[in-house]
Structures are given as structure tokens and as C-alpha cells.
Structure 1
């Protein structure tokens, strides 16, 4: 019995010892693990504890390309390298300034776009105590803290900012770019760095914290300066429009279209940005390498302009303008320096060409100013007489067969008002053919309630005449926006109202309000197509970007012709003006028949002369028209301001029409290095 009990007692200590041994082993493992975590991995886990969530920044993707009407690249992306700066949370203004000083010794930076405010801010940054000393005790005491800086800006004098050297302005331009960027978002300091600049930056990168060299894209133009201003510019968001773009989701350092087509179609041309993801500590400093996600190029635009035609038109304008300025009429044409042309399809509104040249008498060189066709306005003279005749027909003051005797008109002061010649009896068609002022004046007088035969008003409705004419003209696009797809356009100058009958009469012959060449092209197109005012447009198609240069991307959108309004005149009344325009270029007394009568493309149109300076004889000469007369496919407007002698308007019109129909007949050649429409396959 005792033996059995002893055996039981001997087993208990063994189990307790085994339990203690197991607990000791587990505690040993736990202590070793804690030691490993705290001693070996402590710093790593400590850093991890301070990490925040991912921070994502974005970089612009290449913009979409632009093609002409024959699918040839006119705006491309050229690979370049950009100098960038990525700012951290700890980088203050003083550090950025010191870095800008270093960069100014390594790169060239343009400073032409610096504003006066930029320079004043910079002066205060460099000379804060001095500027503060210019404040009186009362100003310091009475000025709220939030208004004190504005007061300091007022204390910066013009001579202060004029004292900056070019080198100092270069430093300011670099620092300004650095200041614009978000934290951890690469900010372009210079796009298109030279090989020398890249080499210098690479050599000094270790001492240029935050500076990097990144691949980028810059706009290139295979056709040089031709139409380049209408393509527009791409720049970083201007300070003046920062709120506009940021409200639409843009980042402050985005590259955006800032003018013309680049601005108009910014939402289509801009691509999907590439993303850079960072992990940062509590101080905002990146930890480890960033993760990058590729973006995508923007959509491609197919334009309505034919670049071969555009270049031919530009050449015609320059050659004819040069003849008028430097030729036998050089002395008389000392005020002449520009000419404008718009060509459009009257049935669709497609702009086929939009050219303008300006001559610099100091340099002897021409500058392309195609934007002048939508921004510059002039008195157009007799070219508006088609609208005047149609207004008279609509209002019932004349009929298609109404005959008016063209002879000098006299009023109370006995000064005669007359046409360029006494024409005798003329109807509406002949009045247009021979450009009778008197016929148009009788329309205006009748609209104003004036009875010329009795030299008195039946009812004084001069202001009504103004309203009737102006409202009628607007149906053709004169004095109102044409609707062209550009960010803005001029609508000409509305001279207002007058109680004087003579002013209403001058209005009827195009010597009162002013209009743009684009408005004149829309006006003549409305007559050419039988009464439909078409929206002029430069965009033809939008396509997905294609990586294969021999293929077009998938069609996303095609511009459909947009009828803005139909004029209120009857087809039979429009036909009267169309016939009158035909006779201008074919009739025995047509004012342009000497130039166009024998053209096989059978044009119709109207000449115009607007008196600018009676003392010197300087005028604006214009010519509008379309061809062929029976089935119009091209309408045009030519404006030559401030000319005295010669028929440059007719010579330019002849040249551009000859070019259009010659190219149509012969086919459009493929430019070197470009793709013709027939050579490009369309993606399906």
C-alpha cells in the first residue's frame, strides 16, 4: 500500500517540473522576440508608425495632335527634357531662393512674363526691413495685420524694381516657378532644356535638392509659322486665370492651352495625367521610391483648314501687299500695312483658310496675323449693299423691279451726295452691279420716312431706320458674334444711333458701323447658300489618339453643320442680290468684271470702298464673293485697310480663288514628311 502511494507522490514533482520548464521556455522565447522587435527592428517599426497614407501627385500627359483637313499633322509633340523642382514640406522660401541662385548659374530662364507685382514681392523678400522702415508709426499702428503687406507693396517704388539686373530677374523667374508648385508635385522650371543645361544640372544634382531632369513634350509645328497663332499656345496656368482653372479641377502647375484652338479645345487635347504615388512620414518627407502610373495622350483634332491652301493664300496676300507697298504706288500707300482673307465653305461653315499679313516698315518684314480676321474690324463700304437691298425688299420700300434715278442728291447745305458716277435709271440688280450709292440712300430715306421729291419728312423715323438696318444686318452675322469656335471674337464697332438722316444714309453704304473679315465671310456665305447663316468652324473631327502614324484613331465626334438662323427674306428676293453679285463680276459695267469676267470658276461678289480720310484719300478696299455662282463651294472676304491707290483687294481675291480651284483641279500634293489622306488607314 505504501509502495503504491509513494509512486503517486513521485509523479507529482515530475509534472510540476515539466510545467515550470515549459513556462520558462515560452517566457524565454517571448523575451527573445521582444528583444528582437525592440532592438533589431525597433527603428524600422518606429518609422512605420509615423508613416501616413499615400500621397499622389500628377504629371501632364502629352497633348492630342492637330491635323489639317487632309489628315496631315500640323501640331505635334516633340520629346524634350524639362528641369523640374519637387518641393518638400520643409523647404521654405529662403531655401528655394538659395536653390534658385544656384540654378540661375546653370540654366537660362526667360523672365519677360514677370509682372510688376512679381517684382515688388521679390523686392520685399530681399529688402523686408528696408520696406518696413518706409512705413510711418501711424501706418504701422493703424493698419490691420492682414492689410499691412498690401501697404508695404505700395511703398515699393518704380526705381526699386527697375534696379533689378537681368540676372536677378532670372533668379526671380526661377523662384516664381518653384513657388507655384504643390508639395511633392514636380514643377517645371524650364521646358526644353539644352544639352549643355542638362549636363550642368546632372553634374550638380547632389547639391540641388528637389531638382530633377524629366522627359517631357513640347509643341512642334511641321508647317512653321503658318497658321500657328490660330493653333494657340500651351503654357502653365496664368496667375490671372488660376481661379478659373482650379475651380475646374486643374492643378496649379498644369500646362494648359492659353489661346485660340489650344484653349478652345483644352478638355479634348489634354491627356490623362500620369500619377506618382509617395509614402511620406509625418513631416511630409517621402519614404522609399515612388510608384508611377502612366498616363494617356489627349484626343486628336482634325481641322477644316487645308494647309496647302493656307500657305498659298498667305503667299498671295504677302505678294500683293508687297506690290502695293513697295511698287509704283509706294508713295501714295504710305499708310497701308495689312490685308486679310477668310475662305469658307458657304454650305457647311468650314473655314478653309484664314490668313492675314502685317508689314513692318522699319524691318521690311511681314508678320502673320490670322487672328486679325476675328479681332480687327473696319468700315467695309459697299460690300454691305447686298444686305441693304434685301432690307429694302423685305420692308417693302422697294421691289425687285423698282427703278431709281441715280443722280446727285442735294439737301439744305447744297452739298451734293453722289455715286462714283451718275448712272441714270437703275434697278436693284444694276445698282449692285455698278455700286450705286444713290440707290441705297433712297432705301435709307424711305425707311426713315423722308420724301426726297418734296425734301421733307412724311414722318421722322430716322432712328427706326437705324434699328431696321442694324437688326436686318445682324441676320447675316454683321455686328453680332459669328459663333466661330474660338475662345472669343470681336463683333465690330456699333457706332450707336443718330437723329441725322445723313448718318442713316451712310450706314446703308457701309460707312458707319465696323465689321470683322469673319463677319463679312459669314454674310456673303448667307447670300451664297440662299439665306442660311452657318456657324463658321475650325474643328472637323475628334479622334482617339493612335500610336501608329499610318492610322487614324477611332472617330469620336464629327462636327455637323450648324444653321444659326435663316434670314427673313424670300428666296426670290435673295435671288435678286445673287444676280446683282453675279453682274458685279460679269456685267458690262460690273465693278470687278475687268478682273473676273473670264474666270472658268464663274464667281459672284461685291466690291467695297469705305472712305477713311477724305483729306488724304485713304480708304478701306474690300471684296466679298463666292464661286461657282450656280453651286457655291467657296465663299471669301478680302479686306485691305488704309490704302489709297491700286486694286489690291481684287488682286488678292483673284489670287486666292485661282489657287483654290487650281489645287482642286490638280489635286493636293503630299508635303514631305507628312501623310496624305489616301495613305492613312482609318481604325475601325
Structure 2
């Protein structure tokens, strides 16, 4: 019985504990085994892989700017320089937040002053929202009426866009210090990762530089650097030829941005935007430095290696002597001032002049002034020589005569034509400036000397096989305009000259047919003596140079050579020398050319009563050339529908010297004068040629 009772006693808990402990130990053992296996997997099998991942860094190549090439005149005088100045810059790191830049901008504004006059409402809104508390406050207001689903579906950018719109409408009142910080913040925000932008890139004072340097630890990314601006040691008389360079804020011009980005430019790069600076941008810009930076997984810079130090832009050596250019500038101003003092410029819009080497096409001087007859303001406009067009008048008659000679309408041995006026129905008599009957007939040489309009019209009628009966319609070949313009084009009149400057005009051609499809005979006759189509002054210079050099149309150019800069800043090797380029050879022979050369010589040295430029006969060396007077009209730009424009006179002249071995060819024009009295064209030509042959100027050419 005791035995049975003992068997029926309940088991104690002590017998269960060892079993549970054993199970627990097994689980722990399995877990440790799994842990050890995982560690083995990580350390032994893939240790090197994960170590590389930890140490992985992104490598990026960043470009740095180099000094722009300089520009020198034909005597080696520096006319465009880079003037260095202290600058405050900001380099944006990968990990920087908008709120960080907000804090930096607020600190930096205590030490420097920047221009905040151009801040936009968007700039102010961006700055205001960069403060986290402001952003939260604004989003709370604008999100109040939106459902949870709408908020979840809305991208962050849409929320920010709505916040910007809200802030712009509210127009937060920013203090002067905050406006300064906003201007700084806008510039900092324009930087992309690891790029550097200028916060203040000129006129940074020594005090500002010292303050920034002293507090640099509080201003991450802010540095003191060097920037340069274009300067003009010889004055600004040639700046309209040289052109402009964009600022960092302007960056790439809108009309060329895609083209320049494709060439490797950044959006905020400076680039030549006009004339020589634009035309020779690939030469002047140099090649940027290249620095390879390594960024670790924490977005910190781990290494920086300069792969290429960059190369300064090459320099331009111009064909222009800066001192001669100044003399021509002064002559143009003085001549126009004289006309203004005489009261004949109430409709005129300026005066222009150009001088070239007729044998090579090298530009010796380009000058112009643009005048506003309403305000009296006068501005430099040298580029008017290539981009403004004028009806030049009789100065083009040399091309008409040579066209007639080449066409066979006249010959050197027989060039005499009647000098009786031409009468057309319902049209004023077409005649020369001298009285009817002054000459019965003229040779080509005399027609040039006396500037006979009648001769040129009768020559055109011969070239067009015209059948003329006074007071009746003239039947002339339909292609008369093509014939005349074809010869003019051979001299460069009416087509681009190829000068190494952008923006050249090709001229303006008048219509050839009337509304009934019939050739405009009267206009064709006007064309023959230079009173119809409009040309640029550079075309006139190319035309007279072609006559002066014996028939070769030379491409005009401004850059004589391209030269390297050595590391010490001195001039290095010449890498390119401009070679004179013949665009075409005009198809006249020497006997035909001599007809016009004799006529041009007689324009200055003839003794007739109607010789047009004998006031220049005493100029040394001897000049040959052709004057021009065109009837023109002044149309008020503020009244484009004016049907009664003022009748005006345009004075011009082309010339070269010495007449027997030309070294300089010039062309001048003064449009829309109210009177031709004053010999302004002759005075300007005289001044240009005598100035050139002064010893100090001539020796440089």
C-alpha cells in the first residue's frame, strides 16, 4: 500500500527544468552558429567586396576658368587687358542643404555689401522659404483646405511651387539686412554640386576681404579668390569694334545657349557676345583647367588631383594702329561737329569712315558716330561701317564704267557718249548737277571727273540695248538690273565682304519690277549712277581697293595674327598669321582699268570747272578717288506713315593714295544732310590720308 501511494504522488517541477534548459541551449547554439556563419560569409567570402563598398568614392572632374586672351594693336600696344580684382566665391558641396545656405547667407551679409537692386519676387520668396519655420508655416496655411489623399498624391515640387506663389502674393517685408542675404542666397543657389560661383566678383574692398578671411570657419564654402574684368588701357574708342564679354550673371546668351552648351560651356560661363570678342571666342577663351575630385559615401571630399592646369586664351594682334585710330575718330567727330555747327544736321544720323590697305585687305581704322537729331545725343558707332547701309551716289560710278567696258558697250579707245538729258513720261528730267548743255558729249574719263549722271544712264541704256525716244517709255532688256548688279558684285558692292566680324550687312537692293511686272526703267537708270541700291561703307572700301590694286577683291580683316601667352605673362609664339585672301579677280584688262584710274586721278587733279574734288589737289602724296552725292529722304522713325519726308543729301567719297602705288584706301559717308555745301566728305578724306602718312603712323604699317 505504501508503495502504491508513493507511485500516485505528483511529479515535481525540478524534473522539467533540465529539459527546458537543454532546449534553450540548443536554440542559443543554433543562433550562434547562424551568427558565426553570417560573419564568415561577410568576412571570409565577401569581406573585400563590402570593404570596397564602404570605401567607395565617386570621382568627378570639375573645370576651372582661365584668363581670357588679350588684344594688341598693330604696334604691340595693349588695348584690351584683364584687370584682376579680389572676389568672394562660394563652392557648393554635395551635402549642403537649402537651410545651410540660408544660414551662410545671413552670416555673410554682415561682412560684405552686394547689389540687391535686381532681386526678383521669386528670389525673395526662395530666401523666405529657405528658413524651415517659414516653410512649415506657409505649407500649413496652403495645405489647410486639402484632403489627406490630395496631400499624399501631391509631389514635393508642387507643394513648393504653391508655397512660392503664396509668398509672392503676400510680399513679405524683408529688412535691408535680409535683402542683402537674399541677394547672396540667390547667387549661392545658382551653383550646382562642386561648382564655384562669384558672390562678389569685382570691387570687393580690402575690408570685406579681411572680414571674410577672418570668419571663414563660420562660412563653409565661402572663399576669397581672384577675378578679372576686361579693361581698355588705350581708351574706349575701339570698344564698339572689340565687342563685349558677358558677365557671370548674364552667362551664355539666349540665342546661342544650346550651341555653346554642346561645346562644353557652363551656363554661367563668360563668353564673347559681340564683334571681335564673339568672332574669336574659341581663340580668346583658352582651355579650362580640370581637377578630379573624389567624394566618399558621406559626401565629403576625399581627394583632389589636378589633371590639367588649363591654358590661357591666345592673344589677338590687330591690323589697326591705335594712335591712327584715335586720329580718325577725332576727324570723324570734328567733321560732324562742323556740319552741326553749320546747321545742316537736323536730319542727319551720323558720319562714318574706314581705311584699309588695298593690297592686303587689312583694316587700318574704322570709325563712326551715330547722331540722334531729335535729342542731340551722339554715340560711337564704328560698327556702322559694316552693318549700316546708305545710298552712296556717284562714288560707285567707277564700277559702272568698268562694267560698261567689260560688257563691250564702250571701249578704252571709244568711250564717248552724248551728254544730253533723258526725258521720260511723267518723270522729272534726268540730268546731271551742272546745267543742261554744259557738255555735248563726254569720254568715260571726263564723265568721272565731272561726275556726269547722264553719261552713266546712257551707258546703262547701251548695256541694256535700250531703244530711246524722248518722252516715251524706254524699252530695255529685262535683265538690266542683273547686268549692272553682276558687275557691282564683282567689286563687292551688294554682297558681304567677308570681314572677320559678325553682323555684317549685305546691303539693300531696290525692286526691279513694277506692279505690272514691267522692269522699272527709271530705277535702272538711277542704279547706274549710285542713286538706288544701298551699300555698306566696308563694301565701298573693298570696291575702291579693287580698283587701286589692279582688280583683286581682297577680304578685309582686323586680326593680323594670333599669339600665345607664356607662363610668365609675356607674349609667346605666333600660332597663326593671317594671309591676304583674294575673293575674286575682276575681269577687266589694264587698258580698261586705266580709263577709270585716269578718271579718278582727274577727279582730284583735273582743271575743269566741274571737277568735283580739286580741293584735294595739293595733298601729298597725290590722291585719286571719286566723290558721291545722293538724293535721299529722311523718314521720322516716330512717324513711319509720314507721306511727305524731308529731302536730304548724302555725301560720300572713296579714295586711295599715293595714286601710282596705293598704300591706303578710304571710304567716308555723311548721310541725310540738309545741304551739300561744306565739302565735309573731302575734308574727312584729307584728314584721314594726311594723318596716315605722318611718320609715326605710316612706319607701323
Normalising TM by the smaller chain, what interval?
A: 0.7 to 0.9
Q: How far did residue 98 of structure 1 move?
A: 6.7
Alignment deviations for residues 386-433 of structure 1 (CA, whole Å, 9 cap, x no partner): 111111222222333322232332111262111101341111111111
Q: Is the 8 A contact 1:68 1:307 kept in 2?
A: yes
Change (3 A) 1:458 1:258: closer
Distance 2:259 2:185 in 1: 23
Equivalent residue, structure 2, for 1:630: 660
Which deviates more, 572-581 or 164-173?
164-173
Aligned with 2:389 (options 369, 374, 377)? 377
Distance 2:403 2:178 in 1: 63
Could you tell me the TM-score, scaled by structure 2's length?
0.77
1:563 paired with 2:579, answer: no
Distance 1:567 1:169 in 2: 66
Equivalent residue, structure 1, for 2:523: 503
Change (3 A) 1:435 1:537: same
1:268 paired with 2:283, answer: yes
Aligned with 1:639 (options 659, 669, 672)? 669
1:77 paired with 2:82, answer: yes
Aligned with 2:560 (options 532, 540, 551)? 540
Distance 1:626 1:164 in 2: 66
Of the two, which has the highest radius of gyration? Answer: 2
Segments of 5+ residues of structure 1 without an aligned counterpart are 1-33, 39-44, 669-676, 678-684
Distance 1:120 1:84 in 2: 24
1:238 paired with 2:252, answer: yes
Could you tell me the TM-score, scaled by structure 1's length?
0.78
Change (3 A) 1:185 1:309: same
Aligned with 1:257 (options 266, 269, 272)? 272
Distance 2:170 2:595 in 1: 68
Q: How far did residue 349 of structure 1 move?
A: 0.6
Equivalent residue, structure 1, for 2:477: 461
Distance 2:253 2:244 in 1: 16
Change (3 A) 1:234 1:665: closer
Equivalent residue, structure 1, for 2:680: 648
Distance 1:557 1:369 in 2: 29
Change (3 A) 1:432 1:57: same
Q: How far did residue 516 of structure 1 move?
A: 1.1
Change (3 A) 1:667 1:168: farther
Q: Is the 8 A contact 1:60 1:255 kept in 2?
A: no
Q: Is the 8 A contact 1:51 1:282 kept in 2?
A: yes
Q: Is the 8 A contact 2:554 2:580 kept in 1?
A: yes
Change (3 A) 1:281 1:593: same
Which deviates more, 67-76 or 231-240?
231-240
Equivalent residue, structure 2, for 1:182: 192
1:408 paired with 2:408, answer: no
Q: How far did residue 342 of structure 1 move?
A: 0.7
Q: How far did residue 620 of structure 1 move?
A: 1.4
Q: Is the 8 A contact 1:481 1:489 kept in 2?
A: yes
SS in 2 for 1:451: coil
Distance 1:283 1:429 in 2: 87
Equivalent residue, structure 1, for 2:231: 220
SS in 1 for 2:389: coil
Which deviates more, 230-239 or 434-443?
230-239
Distance 1:254 1:50 in 2: 34
Change (3 A) 1:666 1:477: closer
1:577 paired with 2:589, answer: no
Equivalent residue, structure 2, for 1:314: 329
1:344 paired with 2:356, answer: yes
Change (3 A) 1:651 1:291: same
Q: Is the 8 A contact 2:474 2:521 kept in 1?
A: no
Change (3 A) 1:148 1:458: farther
Q: Is the 8 A contact 1:76 1:221 kept in 2?
A: yes
1:521 paired with 2:541, answer: yes
Root-mean-square deviation over aligned CA pairs? 3.9
Equivalent residue, structure 1, for 2:444: 428
Count of residue correspondences: 604
Q: Is the 8 A contact 2:461 2:476 kept in 1?
A: no
Which deviates more, 254-263 or 537-546?
254-263
Distance 1:202 1:263 in 2: 37
Distance 1:63 1:347 in 2: 32
Q: Is the 8 A contact 1:448 1:501 kept in 2?
A: no
Equivalent residue, structure 2, for 1:553: 572
Alignment deviations for residues 40-99 of structure 1 (CA, whole Å, 9 cap, x no partner): xxxxx9899244143221211112222111112112222212222212234456765776
Q: Is the 8 A contact 2:397 2:530 kept in 1?
A: yes
Equivalent residue, structure 2, for 1:14: none
Q: How far did residue 598 of structure 1 move?
A: 1.0
Q: How far did residue 383 of structure 1 move?
A: 1.0
1:58 paired with 2:63, answer: yes
